[in-house]
Amino acid sequence: MAAPGGFASLPGPAAENSAALATRTAAAAALPFERPGMSFPGSAFYYMADPTGAALVALPTADPLTKGMAEGGRALGALIDVGAPAKPFFSAGAGLTHARAQECLAQAVWYEAASESEAGQRAVAQVVLNRVAHPSWPASVCAVVYQGSQRSTGCQFTFTCDGSLARRPAGASWARAQRIAADALAGSVYAPVGHATHYHTLWVNPSWAASLDHIGTIGAHRFYRNRGAGGEAAAFRTAYAGFEPVVSGRSTAVPLAAAYEPAPSRPVIAYDPGPVAAPSTPSAKPPVPQAETLPREPASGTGAVRGEYARAGQWKAQPGKPAAAE
C-alpha cells in the first residue's frame, strides 16, 4: 500500500479543485436551444445564425442538393467579409426630433424583428440608418421608415401599411427595441451587415433581390447591399437632416369611436349669431281661419253613397237573389 503522501501517483485522472471544475462546467453548459422550454423544432438554426463577433457566418443554402456549400458559394461556416462598417450615426441627445427618431427606429425594430435575436434587431436598425445616409432615400429616420406608407404603390417597411400598427408594442420586447434604437442613434454600429440597405424574410423571394448583392443571413432575414459603386462606403455621404417629420401609417378602417358616435340631437352653431334684433311690427293681414279642434256630432244618413250600394256589407236574407228583389 502506498504511503499517504503518494496518492497522486495512482493511475487515473487527477482530482480537480473547485475552481477548475466550475470553469469546465461553465464551458460545457448547454446552449440555449438545448435547454428545456427554450427552444422549438428548428430553433437551433436561428441560434447558430446569430453572429457573436464582427462578421456573419455562411449558412446552408435552401437547396438540400448543395452538400457542403453555403450561401453565396462559400464554404459552410466561413466568415463573410462585408467590407468596411458603416459610419456611426449621431442624433441630438434630447428634444422632440430625437424622440421621434427613436420612436420610429424602435418601431421598425419591434414590428420587423420582435421575434429575432438582438443581433437580428440591431441589423434591422443598421439598415434604416444606412438608408438615411444614402442619397437614394430620405435624410431622416422617420421619413425612411414610413416612406410610401400613404401611397397605393407600396411601402418600404410593410408594417407601416398592412395594418400591423393596430397592434401596440409593449412589455420587455418593446423596452429592448427602444434600447437598441437609442444605442444606434448614439453611434453604435452593427458591423456584420456593413452597408446593407435591404432585407427580406426567408419565406419570400422578392423580385428586387436578384439585382442586389446578398451579404448574409441573420435569423429569419436575408440582408443585401447595392451592387457596384452604390453599395460602397463612398456612396453613403448624405448628411442627416436633423428634423423628423410627423408620420403615420396607412389606415383604411374607420375608428370605432367615430363609427358608433351618436348623431347630435340638434344642429351645432359654428358661428356667433350676434345680438338678435327686435321683431318688426307685422302689417295688418286678414286672420287665418283655424281648424276646429272639438269633435262634432256624426252626420246622419248615408251621405253620398249611391242607392244600389247603400246595403253593401249587410247579410242577404236570401243569398243568390238580386239585392233589389229582397
**Residue 173: which CATH number?**
1.10.10.2520
Strand partners, 213: 225
Is 101 a member of any domain?
Answer: yes
Is 47 a member of any domain?
Answer: no
Rg (CA), the chain: 41
Is 17 a member of any domain?
Answer: no
Question: What is the average pLDDT across 163-177?
Answer: 94
Q: Which three cell numbers stand for residue 229?
A: 459603386
Is 316 a member of any domain?
Answer: no
Cα–Cα distance measured from residue 266 to residue 197, given in angstroms and rounded to the nearest whole number = 56
Domain residues for 188? 87-248
Question: Does the pLDDT at position 160 exceed 90?
Answer: yes
**pTM (2 decimals)?**
0.61
pLDDT in tens, 207-257: 999 999 999 899 899 999 999 999 999 999 999 998 998 887 665 443 444
Is 148 a member of any domain?
Answer: yes
Report the number of distinct structural domains present in the chain: 1
Is 53 a member of any domain?
Answer: no
Question: Does the pLDDT at position 13 exceed 90?
Answer: no
Is 194 a member of any domain?
Answer: yes
pLDDT in tens, 268-314: 444 444 555 555 555 566 666 655 555 555 555 555 677 777 777 77
Is 233 a member of any domain?
Answer: yes
Question: What is the average pLDDT across 18-39?
Answer: 62
Q: CA separation (Å) from 146 to 105, 114, 143, 161, 192? A: 10, 18, 5, 9, 25
Residue 261 has a pLDDT of 47
pLDDT band at 30 (very low <50, low <70, confident <90, very high): low
